[in-house]
């Protein structure tokens, strides 16, 4: 029993218990859905489901009040303008310098330098300096040395949303690389010389191999259907020296439904073991996790064991591509298994619309968690770190995950008006350390190759 408060940013429930006055705070941005349930003798129940999977049930005595709260929450939980988001009003009382420093903690260019680029094979191109070539890419992109501005521009015209192949991960030990793009606008028979040259350039940037893999993370059916819309995938006949591979990971709609089903299973009251296992299998959630993991392993093996470069794309090169490349780099490079490194990897890959509910993040985080369970000594951070990141991706308390790309972020002046999550986490990093982690431990070195037989995926 207690009092409910609604502020501009939070729902707050304060318990009436005299000594403790325990408070429960929920950010509006954390609210995933609100349900008005049937009125009972005790009052009108309102069920709030949060994006961090917390579920709160409020029983409000008066119908009228309940309805008011319901309407208000619906409006508050769906901000119309960016400015309504919490991150623009969140004030942790840091001064301007501290805020700036916070944003500088994690930088894309430092990361590329750490990987060893630019170098003889890879260069920075400023062809996109005014976001003219691709408005969802940053102003500086890393491309193969032999990719001229002409090739880049030509390739971008042949790619969905102009997202041409660009460097995502570079392995300095063997020059193999992972590049990302979106799908080619090949339709049934279209070709583009510059795009073909672009892929050649990627191949040439790795003298140790005479072909590259092109990985399409969509199921074959979906990719083929896209051809009817003038898009599609690379034809091995047209692109010399590529080996094409489908790794079917379902699209966002399938994933959303999968997540929904799984949450329903978790919400069951007193389920039997059978109900639970059946429900879990029905949701297909773990199957998708395995698919993402398998894809990541394929790419990691290609780079680390075969020394072959990989180009990865899905439809628009956002969600599945990002997930799979992130998993691959986590497997390949111990740096990303440190706290700093993990923050960097998220920074580089997250371009998405947080106003859309997408389970992409949740899946990626679950993949990381599964890896942590199989390799308990290999990660510098612990489970709490992952949970807090997931929480804040939806909380919109920090500005890191807004917007679709660097251009929008600059336009909205994110760095000047909001605070960086990474700085916040870094300050508290003592809470996130994994005590079993040792930098010189054998488990932390080199590539991780997890077991992907179904029995190895835990549910918890």
Q: What amino acid positions are annotated as catalytic residues? A: 314
Q: How far is the CB of 459 from another protein (least distance, A)?
A: 7
Q: How far is the CB of 275 from another protein (least distance, A)?
A: 7
Q: How far is the CB of 5 from another protein (least distance, A)?
A: 33
For position 264 contacting another protein by CB under 8 A, the verdict is: no
Q: What is the dihedral of CA 383, 384, 385, 389, to 10 degrees?
A: 110
Q: Which is nearer to another protein, 350 or 433 (CB)?
A: 433
Q: Which residues pair with 167 in a beta bridge?
A: 179
Q: How far is the CB of 449 from another protein (least distance, A)?
A: 11
Q: Which is nearer to another protein, 237 or 440 (CB)?
A: 440
Q: Which of 4, 59, 266, 433 binds another protein (CB under 8 A)?
A: 266
Q: Which residue has the tokens 């051809």?
A: 227
3-state secondary structure of 445: coil
Q: Which is nearer to another protein, 13 or 276 (CB)?
A: 276
Q: Which of 101, 113, 240, 456 binds another protein (CB under 8 A)?
A: 456
Q: What are phi and psi of 168, to 5 degrees?
A: -115, -40
For position 287 contacting another protein by CB under 8 A, the verdict is: yes
Q: Which of 5, 278, 353, 384 binds another protein (CB under 8 A)?
A: 278
- Among 140, 86, 146, which Cα is nearest to 111's? 140
Q: Which stretch binds another protein (CB under 8 A): 156-164, 207-215, 269-277, 354-362?
A: 269-277
Q: Which is nearer to another protein, 220 or 287 (CB)?
A: 287
Half-sphere CA count of 25, side-chain side, radius 13 A: 6
Q: Which stretch binds another protein (CB under 8 A): 147-155, 163-171, 336-344, 371-379?
A: 371-379
Q: Which of 219, 271, 307, 405 binds another protein (CB under 8 A)?
A: 271
Q: Which of 272, 356, 430, 439 binds another protein (CB under 8 A)?
A: 272
Going by the annotation, the residues of the binding site for substrate are 251-252, 314-320
By the 10 Å C-beta count (0-12 exposed, 13-18 middle, 19+ buried), 205 is classed as buried
Going by the annotation, the residues of the binding site are 251-252, 314-320
Token representation of residue 353: 């619309």
Q: Return all residues near 279 (Cβ < 8 A) that are at least 6 apart.
A: 261, 262, 264, 265, 268, 271
By the 10 Å C-beta count (0-12 exposed, 13-18 middle, 19+ buried), 350 is classed as middle
Strand 44-50 relative to strand 31-36: parallel, antiparallel, unpaired?
antiparallel
- Among 410, 412, 292, 400, which Cα is nearest to 350's? 400
For position 460 contacting another protein by CB under 8 A, the verdict is: yes
For position 454 contacting another protein by CB under 8 A, the verdict is: yes
Distance CA 38, CA 26 (A): 23
C-alpha 78: how far from chain center: 21
Q: Which of 64, 104, 150, 438 binds another protein (CB under 8 A)?
A: 438
Yes or no: say if 58 and 49 are a contact pair by the CB < 8 Å rule. Answer: no
Q: Which of 274, 356, 439, 440 binds another protein (CB under 8 A)?
A: 274
Task: Show the binding pattern over residues 326-355: x = contacts another protein (CB under 8 A), - = does not.
Answer: ------------------------------
Residues of this chain that bind another protein (CB under 8 A): 266, 271-278, 280-281, 286-287, 290, 374-378, 435-436, 438, 441-443, 451-460
């Amino acid at each position: 029993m207690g009092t409910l408060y609604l502020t501009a940013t939070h729902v707050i429930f304060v318990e009436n218990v005299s000594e403790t006055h325990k408070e429960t705070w929920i950010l509006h941005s954390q609210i995933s859905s609100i349900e008005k349930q049937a009125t009972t003798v005790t009052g009108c129940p309102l069920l709030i489901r949060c994006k961090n999977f917390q579920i709160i049930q409020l029983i409000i005595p008066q119908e009228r009040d309940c309805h008011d709260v319901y309407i208000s929450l619906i409006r508050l939980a769906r901000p119309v303008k960016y400015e309504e988001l919490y991150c623009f009003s969140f004030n942790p009382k840091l001064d301007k310098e501290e805020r700036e420093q916070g944003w500088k903690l994690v930088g894309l260019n430092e990361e590329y330098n750490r990987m060893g680029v630019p170098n003889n094979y890879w260069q920075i191109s400023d062809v996109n300096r005014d976001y003219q070539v691709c408005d969802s890419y940053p102003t500086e992109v890393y491309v193969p040395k032999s990719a001229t501005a002409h090739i880049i521009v030509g390739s971008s015209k042949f790619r969905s949303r102009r997202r041409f192949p660009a460097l995502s991960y570079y392995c300095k030990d063997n020059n193999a690389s992972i590049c990302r793009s979106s799908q080619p606008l090949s339709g049934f028979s279209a070709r583009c010389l510059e795009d073909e040259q672009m892929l050649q350039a990627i191949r040439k940037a790795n003298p140790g191999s005479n072909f590259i893999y092109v990985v399409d993370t969509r199921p074959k059916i979906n990719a083929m259907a896209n051809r009817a819309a003038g898009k599609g995938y690379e034809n091995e006949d047209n692109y010399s020296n590529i080996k094409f591979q489908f790794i079917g990971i379902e699209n966002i709609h399938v994933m959303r439904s999968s997540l929904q089903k799984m949450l329903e299973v978790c919400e069951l009251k007193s389920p039997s073991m059978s109900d639970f296992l059946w429900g879990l299998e029905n949701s297909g959630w773990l199957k998708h996790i395995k698919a993402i993991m398998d894809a990541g392993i394929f790419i990691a093996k290609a780079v680390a064991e075969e020394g072959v470069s990989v180009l990865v794309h899905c439809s628009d090169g956002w969600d599945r591509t990002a997930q799979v490349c992130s998993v691959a780099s986590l497997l390949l490079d111990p740096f990303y298994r440190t706290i700093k490194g993990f923050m960097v990897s998220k920074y580089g890959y997250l371009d998405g619309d947080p106003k859309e509910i997408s389970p992409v993040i949740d899946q990626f985080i679950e993949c990381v968690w599964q890896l942590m369970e199989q390799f308990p000594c290999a990660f510098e951070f612990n489970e709490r770190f992952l949970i807090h990141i997931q929480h804040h991706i939806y909380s919109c308390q920090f500005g890191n995950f807004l917007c679709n790309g660097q251009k929008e972020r600059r336009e909205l002046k994110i760095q000047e008006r909001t605070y960086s999550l990474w700085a916040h986490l870094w300050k508290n990093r003592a809470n996130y350390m994994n005590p079993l982690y040792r930098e010189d431990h054998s488990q932390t070195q080199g590539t991780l190759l997890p077991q992907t037989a179904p029995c190895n995926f835990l549910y918890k």
